[in-house]
C-alpha cells in the first residue's frame, strides 16, 4: 500500500538564468506549465495552487564584471532569499512545495525554505553534475555549479546565510544520483564529507533499482526528503533542452523507475525540477519529460 500523500501542491516558478552560462533557462517554468504539469497533477487527484513566477531582475545581466568568481551574486541572493521565504510559507500552510526552474542555483532557496520546517532533511540530488563547487574551486564562476555546497554550509557567507546560516543539510543525509561530470575541487569536498555519490558507472553495473534501494535506505534516516531533479541528469537523447548536456546519462525509463521508487518510499516532502532550456529543446521534449517524471514521483502508475 502506498503511503498517504499531501494532496495540496504549491507550484512556484523560478525564472532565473543568472547562475548559468547560457540564457534561456529562465523560460523553463513556463515550458513545464505548457507541457501540462497542472493537468497531470490534477488528474492524479492533487489540488494545485499555482503561485506564478518569482520576479528576477534582468539588470544584473548588464552589470556583471568579466572574470567574476561568483557571477550575478547580488541578484542570485535576492531571488533565493525570496524563494526560501515562499517555500517556508507554503509549507506552513500545509502545502507541498514544487518549484520549477530555472537554473540550479535556485536549489539554495528551496532547500533553505524546507529547512525551516524539517531540520534533519534528506536530499536526493539527481544530476549529471555534483554542484559542489565554491568560489575557490569553480572553473566558471557560475553559481548553478555551487548550490549543493551552499546547502551543506560551504561557500560565500551571503549564500550560506540565506534562510539562516545554521540551517544546512547534513552530509550523511545527501545522495547524488547520475553523476558523470565532476570537477576536482568537488570531488575532494564530497570525499572529505563522505557524501554518497552514485555515478553512471554504479548505475550501469548495478542497475537503477539497486542504486535507489541503497539511496533510500540512507535517506530513510532523515525526517523527509527533498528531490532536486536537474533534467541534465537524464541522457541528452531523452532531454536535449539543457545548457550543460553530458552524454551517457540516465535513460528515460531508468529516470521513471527512480521517481516511482522514491514515490513508493513515502519520504518526499518537497521537490524542484530545474535546468529546462526551451531555446535548446526539440518541440518542448525536455519539459514534457520533466512532466512525466513529476507524474511518476507524485504517484502515477501504469496500472
Choosing from 75, 131, 186, 238, the catalytic residue is: 131
* Residue 288, preceding peptide bond in cis (omega within 30° of 0): no
275 classed as catalytic? yes
Of the candidates 232, 235, 254, 281, the residue annotated as catalytic is 232
Catalytic-role residue among 17, 202, 230, 235: 230
Flag whether 89 is marked binding: no
**Active-site choice (90, 275, 292, 300):** 275
Query: Whose CA is closest to 125, among 77, 197, 188, 204?
Result: 197
202 among annotated binding-site residues: no
Q: Which of 26, 75, 103, 129 is catalytic?
A: 129
Q: Is there a catalytic annotation at residue 201? A: no
- Catalytic (active site) residue 254: no
**Is 21 labelled as part of a ligand binding site?**
no
Q: Is 62 among the catalytic positions?
A: no
Q: Are 274 and 228 in contact (CB under 8 A)?
A: yes
Picking from 269, 266, 267, 285, the residue whose alpha carbon sits closest to that of residue 277 is 285
Q: What is the DSSP letter of 64?
A: P
Nearest 5°: phi and psi at 302? Answer: -70, -40
Is 21 one of the annotated active-site residues of the chain? no
Task: List the catalytic residue out of 17, 127, 183, 235.
Answer: 127
> Would you call 144 a catalytic residue per the annotation?
yes
Is residue 230 annotated as part of the catalytic site, yes or no?
yes
User: Can you tell me the distance from the alpha carbon of 122 to that of 170, in angstroms, rounded to the nearest whole number?
Assistant: 8
For residues 90 and 50, the answer to whether their CB atoms sit within 8 Å is no
Residue 131 marked as a ligand binder: yes
Catalytic residues: 104, 127, 129, 131, 144, 230, 232, 275
Binding-site residues, in ranges, read 104, 127, 129, 131, 230, 232
Binding-site residues for Mn(2+), in ranges, read 104, 127, 129, 131, 230, 232
Amino acid at each position: 500500500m502506498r503511503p498517504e500523500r499531501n494532496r495540496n501542491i504549491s507550484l512556484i516558478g523560478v525564472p532565473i538564468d543568472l547562475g548559468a552560462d547560457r540564457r534561456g533557462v529562465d523560460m523553463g517554468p513556463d515550458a513545464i506549465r505548457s507541457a501540462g504539469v497542472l493537468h497531470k497533477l490534477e488528474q492524479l487527484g492533487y489540488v494545485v495552487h499555482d503561485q506564478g513566477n518569482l520576479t528576477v531582475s534582468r539588470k544584473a545581466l548588464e552589470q556583471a564584471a568579466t572574470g567574476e568568481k561568483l557571477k550575478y551574486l547580488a541578484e542570485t541572493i535576492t531571488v533565493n532569499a525570496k524563494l526560501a521565504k515562499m517555500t517556508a510559507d507554503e509549507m506552513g500552510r500545509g502545502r507541498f512545495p514544487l518549484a520549477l526552474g530555472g537554473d540550479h542555483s535556485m536549489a539554495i532557496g528551496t532547500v533553505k525554505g524546507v529547512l525551516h520546517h524539517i531540520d534533519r532533511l534528506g536530499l536526493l540530488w539527481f544530476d549529471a553534475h555534483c554542484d559542489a563547487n565554491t568560489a575557490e574551486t569553480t572553473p566558471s564562476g557560475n553559481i548553478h555549479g555551487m548550490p549543493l555546497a551552499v546547502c551543506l554550509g560551504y561557500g560565500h557567507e551571503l549564500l550560506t546565510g540565506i534562510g539562516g546560516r545554521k540551517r544546512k543539510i547534513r552530509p550523511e543525509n545527501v545522495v547524488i544520483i547520475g553523476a558523470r561530470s565532476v570537477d576536482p575541487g568537488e570531488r575532494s569536498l564530497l570525499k572529505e564529507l563522505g557524501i554518497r555519490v552514485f555515478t553512471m558507472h554504479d548505475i550501469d553495473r548495478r542497475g537503477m533499482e539497486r542504486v535507489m534501494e541503497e539511496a533510500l535506505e540512507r535517506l530513510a534516516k532523515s525526517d523527509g526528503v527533498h528531490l532536486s531533479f536537474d533534467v541534465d541528469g537524464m541522457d541528452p537523447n531523452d532531454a536535449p533542452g539543457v545548457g550543460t548536456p553530458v552524454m551517457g546519462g540516465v535513460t528515460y525509463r531508468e529516470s521513471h523507475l527512480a521517481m516511482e521508487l522514491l514515490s513508493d518510499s513515502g519520504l518526499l516532502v518537497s521537490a524542484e525540477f530545474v535546468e529546462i532550456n526551451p531555446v535548446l529543446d526539440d518541440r518542448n521534449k525536455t519539459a514534457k519529460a520533466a512532466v512525466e517524471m513529476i507524474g511518476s514521483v507524485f504517484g502515477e502508475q501504469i496500472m
